[in-house]
């Protein structure tokens, strides 16, 4: 595509005019086939980042990005195809449980997920700590897995919304990531390419989230819900707090362990509650249930009766894990997953009630020990992470352990000191606040 044509798009953005649809379509196709000058794409991204684009142009852009690659199609029961997306948080392992739990309820979940570039590993990094787990599925394999099992979790690849790959890479180096229309188009185009009927978005907000304030989180949620529903997907966004870590385990292997515990009907209540909340709203959006209470009961049942765990085991086997390993993983994950055998206990120097745990400090330390990446080429160390042994609101004595740190390289004095300072203790009793702050939905009647 000629750079002069991209300049016409830039002019429209700068003048707050609608972009020419034909040129926009040509531009996104050119980005997907890598047939555009990088400098022209940079100028366009910078213009969108600086001036924004209308809701209608965001829908058009998302649609073009979705159409830049393969789109999964579902001939049988398309109304049962669902997924969720989370903007990411510390200890956020929901996808690992959500996909098999929803499959156990009869829904179809062709989940695409990412590797983490940031503080913590992504869903794919967590799954890749399971020996043999293959996340590199073709669109055809994704469809086959969903037909056979009801779910799969695959890594994003260039077959799906390939325009996003290049645009995201350029955004990363041009400081244009934090643009609501660009984030919206990037996330929703990939989800829409799964051929979804319904989508739940978990938009995290707080000190350890991408969106720090409730207002910013709501703005992003409104944009994503509007675009998803503009593309015919039923969509709800849940704004949830991301100050304290989610559940008890942080780190790649450790988060798989906590997820399996929840799938065994046990596990941390915080994690279980989030799974139930997200899954229940997908059951409602798909008309499998008529009330939230029914949805909550249905998900609780599949977590408690082993059927969600059974779907997880089948998904592992379909995605390359040997039958014996998958069985053992679901029975006793400690025997299968790599966990460091060196750990240090982090001790409270005060008595009282746990008031807060600084997620960002934990994520910083975990990342510098290999649980997350600084660079896309970095290799994840799956055995590193934390187990939090005292929950928010729980009573703690001075000298008592509140967290275990599993490491492979000796932590520095500064790191231990940072971890020691990552808990606040209150003298008064603390009532833990619910994660859900508010819900953003598409306008009624759609």
Residue 420 class from Cβ within 10 Å (0-12 exposed, 13-18 middle, 19+ buried)?
middle
Nearer to ligand URA, 87 or 340 (CB): 87
112 has which bridge partners?
154
Residue with smaller CB distance to ligand URA, 189 or 286:
189
| Beta strand 395-396 pairing with 343-347 | unpaired
Q: Are strands 234-241 and 352-357 parallel, antiparallel or unpaired?
A: unpaired
Given the residues 26, 49, 85, 249, select the one marked as catalytic.
85
Task: Work out how close the CB of 141 gets to ligand URA at its nearest, in angstroms, rounded to a whole number.
Answer: 21
Cα–Cα distance between 204 and 15 in angstroms, integer? 33
Q: What distance in Å separates the CA atoms of residue 437 and residue 152, rounded to the nearest whole number?
A: 30
Identify which range of 180-188, 351-359, 404-412, 417-425 contacts ligand URA by CB under 6 A: 180-188
Active site residue 268: no
For ligand URA, the closer of residues 240 and 422 by Cβ is: 240
Contacts to ligand URA from residues 158-177, by CB under 6 A: 168
| 83, 92, 125, 164: the active-site residue | 164
Nearer Cβ to ligand URA (187/283):
187
Chosen residue from 45, 183, 224, 362 binding ligand URA by CB under 6 A: 183
Residue (126 or 249) nearer to ligand URA, CB: 126
Cβ-Cβ contacts under 8 Å for 1 (sequence gap 6 or more): 26, 27, 30, 35, 36, 40
* SS3 at position 237: strand
Active site residue 190: yes
* 43 part of the active site: no
Residues 201 and 84: their CA atoms lie apart, in Å, by 6
Distance in angstroms (rounded) separating the CA atoms of residues 220 and 85: 13
Give the DSSP H or E segment for 345: strand 343-347
Asked if residue 187 binds ligand URA (CB under 6 A), the reply is yes
Query: Considering only 96-104, 179-187, 267-275, 323-331, which stretch makes contact with ligand URA by CB under 6 A?
Result: 179-187
- Is residue 296 part of the annotated active site? The answer reads no
Q: Is 45 among the residues that bind ligand URA (CB under 6 A)? A: no
Q: Which one from 49, 108, 119, 171 is the annotated catalytic residue?
A: 171
Residue of closest CB approach to ligand URA: 186
Our answer to whether residue 270 is catalytic in this structure is no
Rounded-to-integer distance, Cα 167 and Cα 48, Å? 12
Q: Which residues are catalytic?
A: 85, 164, 171, 186, 190
What residue ranges bind ligand URA (CB under 6 A)? 168, 182-183, 186-187
């Amino acid at each position: 595509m000629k750079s002069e044509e991209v300049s016409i798009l830039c002019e429209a953005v700068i003048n707050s005019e609608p972009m020419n649809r034909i040129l926009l379509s040509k531009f996104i196709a050119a980005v997907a086939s890598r047939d555009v000058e990088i400098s022209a794409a940079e100028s366009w991204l910078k213009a969108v980042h600086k001036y924004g684009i209308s809701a209608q142009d965001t829908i058009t852009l998302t649609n073009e990005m979705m159409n830049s690659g393969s789109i999964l199609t579902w001939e049988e029961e398309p109304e049962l195809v669902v997924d969720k997306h989370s903007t990411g948080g510390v200890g956020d392992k929901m996808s690992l449980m959500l996909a098999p739990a929803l499959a156990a309820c009869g829904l179809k979940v062709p989940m695409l997920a990412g590797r983490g570039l940031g503080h913590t590993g992504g869903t794919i990094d967590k799954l890749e700590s399971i020996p043999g787990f293959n996340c590199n599925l073709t669109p055809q394999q994704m469809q086959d897995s969903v037909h056979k099992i009801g779910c799969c979790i695959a890594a994003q690849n260039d077959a799906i919304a390939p325009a996003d790959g290049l645009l995201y890479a350029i955004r990363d180096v041009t400081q244009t990531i934090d643009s609501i229309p660009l984030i919206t188009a990037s996330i929703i185009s990939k989800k829409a390419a799964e051929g979804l009927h319904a989508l739940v978005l978990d938009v995290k907000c707080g000190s350890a989230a991408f969106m720090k304030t409730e207002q910013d989180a709501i703005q992003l949620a409104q944009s994503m819900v509007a675009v998803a529903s503009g593309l015919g997907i039923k969509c709800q966004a849940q704004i949830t707090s991301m100050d304290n870590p989610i559940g008890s385990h942080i780190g790649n292997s450790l988060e798989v362990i906590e997820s399996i515990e929840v799938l065994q009907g046990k596990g941390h209540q915080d994690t279980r509650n989030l799974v139930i909340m997200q899954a229940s709203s997908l059951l409602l959006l798909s008309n499998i249930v008529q009330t939230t209470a029914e949805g909550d009961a249905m998900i609780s049942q599949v977590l408690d009766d082993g059927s969600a765990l059974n779907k997880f085991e089948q998904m592992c086997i379909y995605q390359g894990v040997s039958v014996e390993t998958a069985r053992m993983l679901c029975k006793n994950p400690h025997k299968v997953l790599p966990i460091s055998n060196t750990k240090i206990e982090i001790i409270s120097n005060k008595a009282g009630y746990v008031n807060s745990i600084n997620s960002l400090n934990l994520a910083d330390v975990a990342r510098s020990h290999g649980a997350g990446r600084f660079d896309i080429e970095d290799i994840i160390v799956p055995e590193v992470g934390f187990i939090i042994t005292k929950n928010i609101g729980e009573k703690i004595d001075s000298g008592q352990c509140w967290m275990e740190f599993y490491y492979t390289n000796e932590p520095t004095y500064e790191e231990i000191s940072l971890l020691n300072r990552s808990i606040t203790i209150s003298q008064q009793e603390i009532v833990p606040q619910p994660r859900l702050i508010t819900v953003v939905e598409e306008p009624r009647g759609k």
